[in-house]
Amino acid sequence: MTETAGDRAPASRAPAALPRLGALRDRAMAALGAPTDTAALVAFRVVLGALVTISAARFLAYGWVDALFVEPTFFFKYWGLSWVGVLPAPGMHVVFVALAALGVCFATGLYYRVVAPLLFALFTYVQLVDVTNWLNHYYLVSLLLLLAAFMPLGRAGSIDAWRRPESRLDAFPAWCTYLLRFQVGVVYFNAGLAKLSADWLLHAQPLNIWLSARTGVPVLGAFFDERWVAYAFSWGGFLFDTTIAFFLLRRRTRLPAYLVVIAFHAVVGLLFPIGMFPFIMVGAALVFFSPSWPRRLLGALRLRALAEDAGVRAAPRARPRRVWSALALAYCALQVLVPLRAHLYGGNVLWHEQGMRMSWKVMVREKNGSITYLVRSKKTGRTWYVEPRRYLTDRQARELQSQPDLVLQLAHHVARDFADRGEGEVEVRAEAIVSLNGRPSAPMIDDRVDLARVSDGLGKASWILPAPEGPPIHLRPAWNSHKLAGR
């Protein structure tokens, strides 16, 4: 076989390309290790710790620890994590007190190297106890705490640095900032992608439903049952989520973009009961600012002593080790790929919910339904109608009605309970009638399937029926008190 010039070309280019790749990698590593001002990440640490403390205090003050962890007799488990159990009373109260205290330690940088991983572990444990408590923004907090545990954020602007000046850092490596920016950017971008659907963009649902029910809101409420407002909110939300990280990254657009972040989350927080979500997102978006932004702010406030630069320029570059770089790359890849896994299942993820969690599908569906288990004794043939509330709290029952994997888990529990009560082996079928974004209700689970014999897993669930076709409901404007008052 004769070798041609074309065949040879790649081989001849390879030696030149490899050094270029190597140089690129060196430049990247140098950039990642570049010293940056500690101020912004210290501020981030303070904000994150404070948010965790406030969040834990809210749970204690409002009695949510009892409602979510003490009153339930059954807890839904994450697949593969069924070993994570709830602590007996007053264990969970102690956990939340510890979370509040650790949040303070984290914020002030006291025993940071121990506190940061402990706070991550404890905060994540609380999230893992019961699937019904899943919240995207607490998942984000867990991830931020995980990342922070690998960062030297306690070695500047902290009690640790004050107690042991020899451990103090004058600069943090730039990869800390980049990684946090990446994480927050992933959240926003995926939240935007989740809105790239016909329901959201073409039918303005579920915002049309949500806003129509909020016409009593002062001033703005008068317009909320106008369809165009729902479309404006839908498209605005989609454009905001998909683009805001890029505007926050650009220096020229950063400040206006951040003001938009504040306005967006303030409106969302005023309209919907989303607790800490706006505060967490507004706090997290601070990572996009210059590493020195707190010093500039303090300087502008004439607090020059606090605003002094600690000597970033003199700090040495700290090239990240290869193993850490590889781990960070793997983490980033996971953060990109995990939200995309929902596409592997096909169909409408908002209906079957396979791949829904950890995908940043935030506030994209209005889903309600009715679940009844039909339990048939194989011994006697007698059939019972079992309501989920027999085993669940109202909040758990509410979450169950929209999440098929929870319906399956409870079916297994019902089967075990009937066996324990001496009824022997039973068939458990679920009659699940569900409405998504105001569509006519439809069966979500195949009621011919004995769920007691179906195993939970990551594969496509054949016992979940296809989503109903056809558009969601279009609500008409309905006059309200404010419009009448103005006539």
Partner 1 sequence: MKRYIGAFVAAAVLCGTSCRSRSGDPGAGSSSGSVDAGSFDKPALLRAFGECVVADYRELSTSVVALDAATSAAASDKSAASLEAARAAWKTAMEIAQRAEVYQFGPAAISTAPGGRDMRDPIYAWPLVGRCALEQTIVSKAYETPGWATSALVSTRSLAAAEYLLFFTGAENECPAESEINTNGSWAALGAEELAARRLAYARVVTADVVQRTQALVDAWDPAKGNFIEELATAGRSKSFASEQMAFNAVTDAMFYVDLQLKNSKVGKPAGFLPDCAAAPCLSAVESPWAKRSKEHIRQNLAGYEKLFRGCGPGGSGLGFDDLLGAVGAESVTAKVEASLVEIRAALDALVEPTFEEDLQKNIAGVQRLFDALRANAALMKAEFVTVLDLELPKRVEGDND
Name residues contacting partner 1, limited to 329-368 (CB under 8 A).
362-363, 366-368
Structure tokens at 202: 């073409």
**Interaction pattern, residues 412-431, with partner 1; x per rule: CB under 8 A:** ------x--x---------x
> Please, which residue, 108 or 205, has the CB nearer to partner 1?
205
> Please, which residue, 169 or 191, has the CB nearer to partner 1?
191
> Please, which residue, 82 or 368, has the CB nearer to partner 1?
368
Contact flag: residue 53 with partner 1 (CB under 8 A): no
> Please, which residue, 295 or 367, has the CB nearer to partner 1?
367
Of the candidate residues 104, 159, 358, 433, the single one contacting partner 1 (CB under 8 A): 433
Contact flag: residue 212 with partner 1 (CB under 8 A): yes
Instruction: Report in angstroms how near the CB of residue 294 gets to partner 1 at its nearest.
Output: 26
Instruction: Report in angstroms how near the CB of residue 27 gets to partner 1 at its nearest.
Output: 30
> Please, which residue, 104 or 213, has the CB nearer to partner 1?
213
Instruction: Report in angstroms how near the CB of residue 82 gets to partner 1 at its nearest.
Output: 24
**Interaction pattern, residues 246-265, with partner 1; x per rule: CB under 8 A:** -x-----x--x---------
> Please, which residue, 162 or 228, has the CB nearer to partner 1?
228
Name residues contacting partner 1, limited to 110-139 (CB under 8 A).
135-138
Contact flag: residue 282 with partner 1 (CB under 8 A): no
**Region near partner 1 per CB under 8 A, out of 11-19, 23-31, 76-84, 472-480:** 472-480
Contact flag: residue 98 with partner 1 (CB under 8 A): no
Name residues contacting partner 1, limited to 21-50 (CB under 8 A).
none
Give, to the nearest 10 degrees, the angle between helix 91-108 and helix 39-61.
Answer: 160
Name residues contacting partner 1, limited to 385-414 (CB under 8 A).
385-387, 390, 393-395, 397-398, 401
Of the candidate residues 105, 151, 229, 284, the single one contacting partner 1 (CB under 8 A): 229
Instruction: Report in angstroms how near the CB of residue 201 gets to partner 1 at its nearest.
Output: 12
> Please, which residue, 298 or 433, has the CB nearer to partner 1?
433
Name residues contacting partner 1, limited to 299-318 (CB under 8 A).
none
Contact flag: residue 467 with partner 1 (CB under 8 A): no
Contact flag: residue 479 with partner 1 (CB under 8 A): yes
Contact flag: residue 471 with partner 1 (CB under 8 A): no
Contact flag: residue 475 with partner 1 (CB under 8 A): yes
CA-based nearest residue to 148, from 29, 287, 294, 307? 287
Instruction: Report in angstroms how near the CB of residue 108 gets to partner 1 at its nearest.
Output: 25
> Please, which residue, 21 or 485, has the CB nearer to partner 1?
485
Structure tokens at 470: 């056809």
Of the candidate residues 118, 122, 276, 407, the single one contacting partner 1 (CB under 8 A): 276
**Region near partner 1 per CB under 8 A, out of 22-30, 312-320, 447-455, 471-479:** 471-479
Over the chain, what HEC string results?
A: CCCCHHHHHHHHHHHHHHHHHHHHHHHHHHHHHCEEECHHHHHHHHHHHHHHHHHHHHHHHCCHHHHHHHCCCCCCCCCCCCCCCCCCCCHHHHHHHHHHHHHHHHHHCCCHHHHHHHHHHHHHHHHHCCHHHCCHHHHHHHHHHHHHHCCCHHHCCCHHHHHCHHHCCCEEEHHHHHHHHHHHHHHHHHHHHCCCCHHHHCCCCCHHHHHHCCCCCCCHHHHCCCHHHHHHHHHHHHHHHHHHHHHHHCHHHHHHHHHHHHHHHHHHHHHCCCCCHHHHHHHHHHHHCCCCHHHHHHHHCCCHHHHCCCCCCCCCCCCCCHHHHHHHHHHHHHHHHHHHHHHHHCCCHHHHCCCCCCCCCCCCCCEEEEEEEEEEECCCCCEEEECHHHCCCHHHHHHHCCCHHHHHHHHHHHHHHHHHCCCCCEEEEEEEEEEECCCCCEECECCCCCHHHCCCCCCCCCCECCCCCCCCCCCCCCCCHHHHHHC
